[in-house]
Amino acid sequence: MKLTERSFVLLLLLPATLFLAAFVAYPLFLLIRDSFFEVSIYAPSERVFVGADNYLHALNSSRVRESALRTLNYTLIALTAEFVLGFAAALLFNAMGRRSEILRTIFAFPLMIPPIVAGLLWRFMLIDNIGIVNHVLEHLGIIADSSDISWLGDRDLVLFSVALPNIWLTTSFVALVLYTGLQNIPSELIEAAKIDGAGALQVFRRVTVPLLRPVIAVVLILRGIDAARAFDMIWIQTEGGPRFASEILSIHIYRNMIRYGNVGEASAIATLFMIAMVLISSIAFFTIWGKGSSQS
């Protein structure tokens, strides 16, 4: 039997296609279908078509709006901290040259630590009174008493506190990827700019950042997506509390579905969440990436 190249390629793609169709595309179809029905998790066969009601209800719900805003804030907090710290570390490694190798090895260490371990560990360190973080702060004279800051109990603070394990785990990722990018910038370009009289800051702004743009795009988008989708790290620390103050969208959707059994409404919110993710990351991709290519 002779296979043509075309049918051979299709045959190779077939198993993975079938799998993704059955376990990714089909669930997404079910999700979108369910978003137009009133379905209870306890009696999934009794479904009532309600049109766009679930969507209207979700968009009008202040709790959904608040958790959408929280998702955005959480992502921005985590992403800003990771990017600033990670970029600083990458520049430091780059300045150190070969001597940074051991450092980078140590730095790579938290890369793969399970998210729930990171969440639990930070929860443990942030307990009021007995947590080590407050004790260190008290020792340094920053706070008067170890019960002064209630990291996970204060509604105004909790969104920052739940971002800490995320920042701890992934700053190294950002740093190492940006470092790889910096290493790939031809040193002649930097030298040439310096000979032309550019200062360190100018070299950074005019040469380093533009050339690093594609790598920055990859890092920001990947990290942004992962932070926005976060579930386990926050769930393990607060389950969305206190009084919903750390309830981001994925936790809200989970709770709406499992705790309250509103499959229809949870599906509508999940669909909106997904559309927003695709839109925001496409915009981010085209602005960061697109600018770079039009300049060069």
Partner 1 sequence: MKSSLAERAILYALVAIILMVFVFPYGFLVSTSIKPPVDALAIPPTLLPQRISFDNYTIIGDFPVVQRSFGNSTIIALLSTVISIGLAIPAAYAIARFATWAGKLFLIAALVTRLIPPVSVGIPLFAIMRSLGLIDTHLGVALAHSTISVPLAIWLLASFMESIPRALEEAARVDGCSRFGALFRIIIPVAAGGIAVTAIFVFLASWNEFLFSLLLSSTGVKTAPIAIAEFKSQYGIQWGTMTSLSVLYSFPVIIFSLLMQKRILAGMTMGAVKG
For the chain, how big is the Rg over CA atoms in Å?
Answer: 24
**If you search the block for the tokens 């190779």, which residue do you land on?**
12
Q: How far is the CB of 147 from partner 1 (least distance, A)?
A: 11
Does residue number 135 form part of the binding site for partner 1 (CB under 8 A)?
Answer: yes
Window contacting partner 1 (CB under 8 A); options: 46-54, 75-83, 150-158, 247-255:
247-255
Q: Which is nearer to partner 1, 156 or 210 (CB)?
A: 210
Q: How far is the CB of 154 from partner 1 (least distance, A)?
A: 20
Q: Total number of residues binding partner 1 (CB under 8 A)?
A: 88
Residue 144 touches partner 1, criterion: CB under 8 A: no
Instruction: Show contacts with partner 1 in window 27-56 (CB under 8 A).
Output: 27-28, 30-31, 34, 44
Determine, following the binding rule CB under 8 A, whether residue 69 of this chain makes contact with partner 1.
no
Q: Phi/psi at 40 (nearest 5 deg)? A: -100, 145
Integer Cα distance of 279 and 160 in angstroms: 26
Q: Is the peptide bond before 242 cis (omega within 30 degrees of 0)?
A: yes
Q: 38-44 long-range contacts, Cβ below 8 Å, gap at least 24?
A: 38/264, 39/263, 39/264, 39/267, 40/261, 40/262, 40/263, 41/257, 41/258, 41/261, 41/262, 41/263, 42/261, 44/263
Q: Quote the DSSP letter at residue 99.
A: G
- CA distances 196 to 18, 35, 189, Å, are 58, 61, 11
Q: Is 129 in the site for partner 1 (CB under 8 A)?
A: yes
Q: How far is CA 263 from the centre of its chain?
A: 25
Quick one: 145 or 156, whose CB is closer to partner 1? 145
Site for partner 1 in 191-220 (CB under 8 A): 215, 218
Scanning residues 276 to 295, which ones bind partner 1 (CB under 8 A)?
Answer: 277-278, 281
Q: Kindly state the smallest distance separating residue 91's Cβ from partner 1, in Å.
A: 11
The span of 50-58, 128-136, 152-160, 196-204 binding partner 1 (CB under 8 A) equals: 128-136
The yes or no reply on residue 3 touching partner 1 (CB under 8 A) is yes
Site for partner 1 in 250-279 (CB under 8 A): 250, 253-254, 257-258, 263, 266-267, 270-271, 273-274, 277-278
Answer yes or no whether residue 113 interacts with partner 1 by CB under 8 A.
Answer: yes
Q: Are 256 and 265 in contact (CB under 8 A)?
A: yes
Told to check if 89 binds partner 1 by CB under 8 A, we report yes
